Amino acid sequence: MTTVREIMTEGAQCLGEHQSLEEAAQKLKDLEVGALPICLRDGRVIGLLTERHIVRKCVAIGTDPSHVTAGEIGEDEPVTIAADEPVEGAIEMMSTHQVSLLPVVERHTLVGMLSEADIARSMPGQRFGELVEEEPTWLRQIPEPPD
């Protein structure tokens, strides 16, 4: 049984809850990622901030990103997974919560990130396909494009 720890991306970085969205956007750009966990000084994950949050909850409504903090608009109550959980549990959690990225924690402290891509790279194609065979709910809700 493969655990999350075995396939996660290690060395994940956090945003501080009081960092401005301007700083957060720069960090996302520098790290070439689309989301970062928001952590307290002790490494406890308290939220998740995505590029989409910055755009939809700040920039698109004309708010200055230098005057808004990550903690103000990031997703609070993020879905996390323990490092020693089986990968199958991570897949189920991603499906249930309709997320493609999970902060990985050990004793409530961030130790890595797990993405669908991490899972796909670690499993033979057929096995990954079997585990995610049911179409996710969010995908079923996307209307077909007109002809």
Six token digits for residue 91: 């897949």
The torsion angles phi and psi of 44, rounded to 5 degrees, stand at -70, 130
The helix (run of H) or strand (run of E) holding residue 38 is strand 35-39
Residue 48 lies in a domain: yes
How many Cα atoms occupy the beta-carbon half-sphere of 13 within 13 Å?
12
Tell whether 38 is covered by a domain. Answer: yes
Look at residue 129 in the predicted model and tell me its pLDDT. 58
Which range marks the domain in which residue 29 is found?
A: 4-134
pLDDT of residue 79: 92
Task: Tokens for 141, please give them.
Answer: 């809700």
pLDDT single digits (tens) 15-67: 999 999 999 999 999 999 999 999 998 889 999 999 999 999 999 999 999 99
CATH of the domain at 105: 3.10.580.10
145 assigned to some structural domain: no
Give the up-direction half-sphere exposure of residue 98: CA atoms within 13 A in the CB hemisphere.
7
d(CA 90, CA 85): 7
* Burial of 22 per CB tally in 10 Å (0-12, 13-18, 19+): middle
pLDDT of residue 141: 45
107, part of any domain: yes
Q: Which pLDDT score is estimated for 10?
A: 92
pLDDT tens readout for residues 81-122: 999 999 999 999 998 998 889 999 998 899 999 998 899 888
pLDDT class for 125, splitting at 50, 70, 90?
A: low
Beta bridge partners of 81: 104
String of DSSP letters for 65-121: GGGSBHHHHSEES---EETTSBHHHHHHHHHHHT-SEEEEEETTEEEEEEEHHHHHH
**Would residue 146 count as lying in a domain?**
no
Total of domains in the chain: 1
pTM: 0.79
Structural domain includes residue 92: yes
Distance CA 35, CA 50 (A): 4
Residue 122 lies in a domain: yes
Helix (H, G, I), strand (E, B) or coil at 4: helix
Residue 144 lies inside a defined structural domain of this protein: no
pLDDT at 137: 46
